[in-house]
Structure 1
C-alpha cells in the first residue's frame, strides 16, 4: 500500500520500536521520522520492534514535516490536544474511508503523529487535510504514541476489509490539492500581502493561520489552487511594475 506512518520528533526508543512493530503488523513498510530525538538503533527500540526491525532500520529521516509530506496527496494528522484552535476534528470512522479511497486510487497517503509530550503544533496540523481525534475521554484525551498508531491502523484495516456506505461516499468526493502545495501557495500569498501592506509582520502568522484553516476545511481542488497561485503571481507582478 502507498501508506506512510510519519512520526514527528519521537523521543522514546520503546515507542519508536513499538510503532515499527505495528507497521509490520498492518503491512506498512514506509516509516518516516521527522527530526527524531532518539536513535532507531537503540537496543530498546530494536527489542520492541521484534519482527518490525526491517521497517525500523529502513525508516527515512527528514528535517521538517513539510519535507516528509512533499510527495503525499492525502494527509491525516492525529490530535490529542484540546487547544487546537478552529481546526475541525473528525473521528476515525469519518476519516478512514477517505484514506482507503486514496489508497485504492494509488495516492500517497500519510498518517502523521506528534511528539509524545505535546503532540503536533497547530501549524503542523494545518499541513493535513483531515485531523483525527480518537474516542478518548475529554478529561485526558492524549494517548500514548504507539497506542494512537495502533488505533488508527486497526481502524484503517477494518474499513479496507469491510467497506461501508461511507466508503462509497468518499469515493464520490473530489480530490483535494496536496497539502504541501497549498501551504507553498499561501506562503507566496503571505509574502505578497506583507508587500502590499495588508499584513504586518507581528500579526502575519496568526492571520494567515486562519486563512490556511479556511482553505484546508474547504478542500481546495488542484485546479482551484492553480487559479489562486496565478492570481498571487499576477498581483505581485502588477505591484512591482507600478513602482518607480
Structure 2
C-alpha cells in the first residue's frame, strides 16, 4: 500500500445521501478507502453520487460487504465510533487520540479500520464487540447525536492533523493477528466451550459468547499468539478424549 491510511467502514448506512456526504468528507482530507456493510437502500445508490460533490471516485471504489466481520477480516486493529455509554470494556479515545494511534499502527505495517454506525441508532453491541477500541467525541452530553457525515469529517480531520509526524516516527512491531484470525480463534473456543456445556444457562449463552468475543478483540494478539492458543485448546480437547 503506497499511502497507508485507515479504512472507513460504514456499517448498515441507511441513506445514500449520507454515504455521499461521508465520501466528500473523507476526500477533503485525503482518505479514499471506504467500505460499506449492507446499505439499507442497496448499492450503488444514485443519491450518494449526488451528495459526493467531486468525490464520486470513492463511491466507485467502495468495497461492499454483507457483515461486519467480513468488512474487518483483514484488519489488525479497529476503532468503533459511538456516543452512547456501553457495557463492553474497551479503551476509549478521542478522535485525535485514535488517529494518533492509527497513524503509528499504520507506520508499523498494520491495517486499521474505523467503524461508523447507521444513522438511526449507531453501532450495535455485536458490532462494537468486534472492535479493539472506542472513539468517543467530546460533545454536549445533553445532545450527543452526530450526523454520520459529521462524525466521518471529525475523524478524517484528526487523521490529516496527525498523520505525517506519527508515520515518520513509527517503528517495527510484532505481526498482529488480523480480524479473520481473531474470528477463527473465537469460533474455535466457542464451539469447544459449547460442546463442554460452558454456556449455561441457555438464556445467558448469547451474552456470554458476546463477552468472550469482546475479550479476544480487546487483546493485542499476534499471529503467533493465535496459533499457540489454537494449539493449546486442541491439546486440551485431545487429552480429554484419550
What TM-score, normalized by structure 1, do the two folds share? Answer: 0.86
Distance 1:27 1:40, change over 3 A: farther
3-state SS in 2 of match to 1:203: helix
- Give the one of 126, 132, 152 matched to 2:129: 126
In the alignment, structure 1 residue 152 sits paired with structure 2 residue 122 = no
Distance 1:203 1:29, change over 3 A: same
Partner of 2:53: 50
Unaligned runs of 5+ in 2: none
In the alignment, structure 1 residue 183 sits paired with structure 2 residue 186 = no
Separation (CA, whole Å) in 1 of partners of 2:88 and 2:111 = 28
In the alignment, structure 1 residue 29 sits paired with structure 2 residue 32 = yes
Q: Which runs of 4+ in 1 moved over 6 A?
A: none
Separation (CA, whole Å) in 2 of partners of 1:83 and 1:238 = 39
Partner of 2:116: 113
What TM-score, normalized by structure 2, do the two folds share? Answer: 0.87
Q: Kindly report which structure 2 residues correspond to 1:70-89, keeping only aligned pairs within 5 A, or say none.
A: 70-89=73-92
In the alignment, structure 1 residue 62 sits paired with structure 2 residue 44 = no
Distance 1:142 1:111, change over 3 A: same
User: What is the deviation of 1:195?
Assistant: 0.9
In the alignment, structure 1 residue 19 sits paired with structure 2 residue 22 = yes
In the alignment, structure 1 residue 203 sits paired with structure 2 residue 204 = yes
* Conserved? CA contact 2:12–2:40, under 8 Å: yes
Partner of 2:102: 99
Unaligned runs of 5+ in 1: none
3-state SS in 2 of match to 1:76: strand
Separation (CA, whole Å) in 1 of partners of 2:8 and 2:233 = 33
Separation (CA, whole Å) in 1 of partners of 2:175 and 2:82 = 23
* Conserved? CA contact 2:77–2:131, under 8 Å: yes
Q: Kindly report which structure 2 residues correspond to 1:157-176, keeping only aligned pairs within 5 A, or say none.
A: 157-163=160-166, 176=176
User: What is the deviation of 1:64?
Assistant: 0.5
Separation (CA, whole Å) in 1 of partners of 2:49 and 2:87 = 34
* Conserved? CA contact 1:17–1:40, under 8 Å: no
* Conserved? CA contact 1:40–1:56, under 8 Å: no
Provide the aligned C-alpha RMSD in A: 2.4
Bigger Cα displacement from structure 2, 100-109 vs 72-81: 100-109
